[in-house]
Amino acid sequence: MVNKKRVLIFSILSIIFVVMIVVGLMKNDISLIEQFGKFLCLDCIGIS
Partner 1 sequence: MRRISQVFFTILFNSYPGVNPGERSFMYQGSLKKVCVPILNCYSCPLAWGSCPIGSFQQTLKSGIIPFFIIGFFGIIGMLSGRFVCAWLCPFGLLQELLYKIKSIKITIPGFMRYFKYGILGLTVLIPVFWHEPFFCKFICPAGTGEASIWQILMQPMLINSIGFFFTLKYMFLIVFIAGSITMKRFFCVTLCPIGAIYGLFNRISLLKINVQKDAAKPNACTECNNCRNHCPMDIAIYRNAAHFDCIRCMKCIDVCPNGSVSSNIPYFNQGQREDASSGDISGSVSPG
Task: Provide the residue count of the chain.
Answer: 48
- Under 8 Å CB-to-CB from 31, ≥6 apart: which residues? none
- Asked if residue 48 binds partner 1 (CB under 8 A), the reply is yes
Is residue 36 involved in binding partner 1 (CB under 8 A)?
Answer: yes
CB of 1 or CB of 43, closer to partner 1 = 43
Is residue 3 involved in binding partner 1 (CB under 8 A)? no
Rg (CA), the chain: 18
Binding site for partner 1 (CB under 8 A): 6, 9-10, 13-14, 16-25, 27, 29-34, 36-48
